[in-house]
Amino acid sequence: MIGPLLFFINFIVFTHHSLVGVNMQTRSTGGRAAEARRTTNELFTLAVVAYVLGLALASEHLQLSLEVGAVAAGLLMTYTPYARQAESTLEPLMSLFGGMYLASLGMIINPRYILAHFGELALWCLVVVAVKFAAAWVALKRLGAGDVAAYAAGFSLAQVSEVGLYLAGKARRRGLLGRHAYLLAAALCVALLAASPFASHALRHVNDVDLDFSLGETSTLFKKRRRRRAFWDQDDEKKEHQQHPAPGRTNRSI
């Protein structure tokens, strides 16, 4: 098991750098005309899709499941300067598969089971929300966040993500969970996912001042994230300036 896992990690690193190299080449040749920009976007879309599918298939071949490879590809993509471009490019696919995913949730849940065990389900929902809210609130308060930011972040994080459904399904197939526990876990995940938009709405009422808590000058991770965000903002401004130059300027070579 360790050998395939190490091979998979090396494969992730290799394909990650290959994707960055492909995008750098397409950006160096693009921008001369509308046709070149369209070709560049199409090539970048193919590169991102091939990257995600390649990692998913490699993970499945190494008996790590398709989901592990897809999650690893998504996590690595967020740490590249092209995360926003990839998100805008793959937005139609995200909407399509997101709709299929939401439809599949309704096929998993048994309404009769929910009505028969409504009290137990409500109790577990309260327990999960209370534990996750307390953990997020304590962590943010330790980092120096304000009360408003800590409460808002605690409520927004007090949910169970889609990974919970995946883990519950895997545990059910391997015999680690019985039918009652699996249906309860699935109903719990869906109920908290349905309530997550209302909790996320609380973050809209949080000011930037409340989120501007000090992590200290020794926080290397926080400083790296700020530098990376500043670099992305400058890159977006350069693209916007190249696509829409200021009026009144003339080409000196004419």
Q: Report d(CA 148, CA 141) in Å as an integer.
A: 10
Please tell me the pTM assigned to this model.
Answer: 0.55
The 10 Å CB-count burial string (b at 16+, else e) for 103-119 is eeeeeeeeeebbeebee
Nearest Cα residue to 48 out of 65, 26, 29: 26
- Among the residue ranges 73-77, 114-118, 130-134, the one predicted with the least confidence is 73-77
Q: Report d(CA 8, CA 58) in Å as an integer.
A: 7
Predicted local confidence at residue 123, as pLDDT: 92
175 DSSP 8-state letter: T
Nearest Cα residue to 196 out of 164, 228, 224, 220: 164
Average pLDDT score over residue span 9-19: 54
Average pLDDT score over residue span 8-12: 55
Average pLDDT score over residue span 121-146: 86
Q: Chain centroid to CA 104: how far?
A: 20
Nearest Cα residue to 13 out of 58, 43, 46, 44: 58
Predicted local confidence at residue 111, as pLDDT: 83
Q: Is the pLDDT of residue 126 over 80?
A: yes
Q: Chain centroid to CA 202: how far?
A: 20
Average pLDDT score over residue span 90-110: 78
